[in-house]
Amino acid sequence: MWRCVSKRNIMAGRFRSTIWDPVLIVSQMALVQSIFYSGVGLWLAMLDALLNAPRSLQQVFRYELLEFSSTRGRVPMFAFTFNALSCAVGLWMFVRRGRQCLDFALTAHGFHLLACWGYNGHLPSALSWWLVQLIAVTIAAVLAEYLCMRSELRAIPLRLGRKVDL
């Protein structure tokens, strides 16, 4: 497999050198996107069952449905907001780099924007849709970065064998 290692990072002797691995990046993007849509689906199913609301695929892709004034509009808003928690955990588990969390969160929501655009035939014009997506990206990125930083800063055990008392 072809890998390109940055000369600057090798020369500087950094802990993690930059390795260009497009297969890894594309597979992580696909995994994050599947976590995004499965999370939205699960949150919508739970909220619809809890509130006894009708279930529809339009709740995911139809941005005119996201509105503050009705229960039917608030359900997908809460689902997207709660889904940010699911996405943050997914980013923490599979991306594992705090620097890349914002990139992957924006990519997932960018692909969702393209899917909504294809589903509806025009770009979103509802301010509530843009607001919900901005809040969801912010929550997912900040929480995932926090979780990744806690994992990255965890102490590394240096003992390889039994403790020897000298």
- Rounded Cα gap, residues 78 and 111, in angstroms: 20
DSSP 52: T
The stretch 117-143 carries a mean pLDDT of 93
Residue 6 has pLDDT above 50, yes or no: no
DSSP 5: E
pLDDT at position 166: 56
- Domain positions in the chain are 22-149
The stretch 92-119 carries a mean pLDDT of 91
Residue 84 near residue 135, CB atoms below 8 Å = yes
Predicted confidence (pLDDT) per residue in 9-59, tens digit? 444 444 455 677 888 889 999 999 999 999 999 999 999 899 888 888 888
Helix (H) or strand (E) holding 128: helix 127-152
pLDDT at position 132: 93
Residue 130 has pLDDT above 50, yes or no: yes
Taking Cα atoms as reference points, which of 150, 120, 121, 114 lies closest to residue 36?
A: 114
Question: What value does the mean pLDDT of the chain take?
Answer: 84
